[in-house]
Structure 1
């Protein structure tokens, strides 16, 4: 289990004393956190805590991963150690920074980390206490992580396997970005030649909650066919919403897919081939 409902969240809070993480992105992330968050939740900033940006997105994309040991220091500051139960949510129904935090903690080797389906909206609707107060917590030693233990893929590897039928490169961005209709964030519209488009939004139902385990399993088993999940590479614009699909696949029992962190923001800035239209 990687994804929990608000009822399960209530049970965890009542019985397990979890570390609660509010993960958000954007320039005003902290401001929005301070305007209202789950009581006792601690703040994780996508831009500074879950990324280690370079001056040039051509090297690593817009949200490069921090060094594992730096992430370990951050986890210690949050009071997270290998025995902690960690529950994370965001203000994008789990589709953004929460999924990234989940992936990073799993890649650090952590076992007990869960994402709240529906995010902050669902939490508020469920009647859990929303606070504007910053929580006081006990810091711990840096989390013992020196390498990412989940597959991190680079652009050269993607280029080498994108046309290989034994592999699958999944682009989770909105279809209009994939086909090259327009590109609101990066410099070039289109997609990696050979990549298939499965928007991350298709992991959600009409209410914005994650689809059931059975629905996700049918969806992704059908998509990857007889391929080994370890031969699947997932990317997005900058390595964040791709984690939403990696979370959905893991929930469906399809572990082992790789994350191309640099994603389109890196690929499109390096004079690599660009495809448009429907594959």
Structure 2
């Protein structure tokens, strides 16, 4: 199971490597779960902070090169047999699910997202600390390639016109319709895409909906299309991973991630959907 409850984490804390994936390092420094290390979205989970980064080529949060990420995973003390738990403050949406996808793409199996995130942990009686966590690093994680499916803009251009495939945008409905765009220079959506916002994977308390409810949510959208013929995107390839996790929880694994997402597409000069 790719999720772990706060109560289970509390009882198993000593046997897991805990990573805090909240985007702002200052939030982590102000208080985090005991023994957690910080995973920085811009510096470690993407190449967004590298010199020359251009959102038109890979989006706002492109995947880092495999060797430095594998080295970072080793520096966190993670080897192939390490049990890893990830959390953020957004029910996994920013950016615990992205890190879940990246570790799974390395081939790591023992990785779980904390269901309900940091708020759920606090409700379960866990406390925060500002004490730094020390860890003994390991050799780079042994991985030779990303092992989960991805698509690029050229592939999306083709599959969006293919009735045998589906393209899912998990941004808010307002952004998909082009009524607003807070992050990218153009509003709208990729023509041919469907829309189901990522946060509809969650109950009001920030925990994932049950596998049965998630399956009932996504099965009509797939409408007989195998999950392996679905590509998922968002604004910059982060919250899309939340939906990939939800699909796995629902028993519908195999969809591809379009990492560049709308942030790349809208800068590419390609056709786009409605404007505000």
* Both structures adopt the same fold (TM-score exceeding 0.5): yes
Give the Å deviation of 1:30: 1.3
Give the counterpart of 2:208 among 207, 210, 228: 210
| 1:226-252 deviation line (CA, Å, top 9, x unaligned) | 111110000000000000000000111
Report the secondary structure of 1:215's partner residue. Answer: helix
Distance 1:7 1:23 in 2: 20
CA shift, 1:218, in A, is 1.6
What's the offset of the Cα at 1:67?
0.9
Q: Please give the alpha-carbon distance, in whole angstroms, between the structure 1 residues aligned to 2:110 and 2:223.
A: 29
CA distance in 2: counterparts of 1:50 and 1:32, whole angstroms: 17
Matched with 1:40 is 35
Q: Are 2:165 and 2:225, in contact at CA under 8 Å, matched by a contact in 1?
A: yes
Describe the SS at the equivalent of 1:170.
strand
Aligned residue in 2 for 1:4: 4
1:102 is aligned to: 100
- Name the counterpart of 2:124: 126
- Residue in structure 2 matched with residue 268 of structure 1 by the alignment: 266
CA distance in 2, matches of 1:276, 1:166: 24
Relative to the length of structure 1, the TM-score reads: 0.95
Aligned match of 2:45: 50
Instruction: Describe how 1:3-82 pairs up with structure 2 within 5 A.
Output: 3-13=3-13, 17-25=15-23, 29-53=24-48, 54-82=52-80
Which deviations, in whole Å up to 9, do the C-alpha atoms of 1:59-89 show, x marking residues without a partner?
1000000011111000000000000000000
CA distance in structure 2 between the aligned counterparts of 1:106 and 1:94, rounded to whole angstroms: 15
Q: How does 1:185-224 map to 2 (within 5 A)?
A: 185-224=183-222
RMSD: 1.1
Deviates more, 1:159-168 or 1:98-107: 159-168
Q: Is the Cα–Cα contact under 8 Å of residues 168 and 194 in structure 2 kept in the other structure? A: yes
Summarize the alignment of residues 84-233 of structure 1 with structure 2, pairs less than 5 Å apart: 84-233=82-231
**Partner SS for 1:24:** coil
Shift of 1:222: 2.2
The CA distance in 2 between the partners of 1:162 and 1:72, in whole Å, is: 32
Taking the TM superposition and a 5 Å limit, the aligned residue runs for 1:234-253 are 234-253=232-251
Equivalences, count: 272
SS in 2 for 1:143: coil
Is the 8 Å Cα contact of residues 21 and 86 (structure 2) preserved in structure 1? yes
C-alpha deviation, 1:255, in angstroms: 1.1
Q: Where does structure 1 lack aligned partners over 5 or more consecutive residues?
A: none
Partner of 1:255: 253
1:22-56 CA distances to partner (integer Å, 9 max, x unpaired)?
A: 0121xxx1111011100000110001000012531
Q: Which runs of 5+ in 2 are unaligned?
A: none
How many Å separate the matches in 2 of 1:140 and 1:262? 31
Q: 1:8: Cα distance to partner? A: 1.9
Cα pair 2:90 2:206 within 8 Å, conserved: no
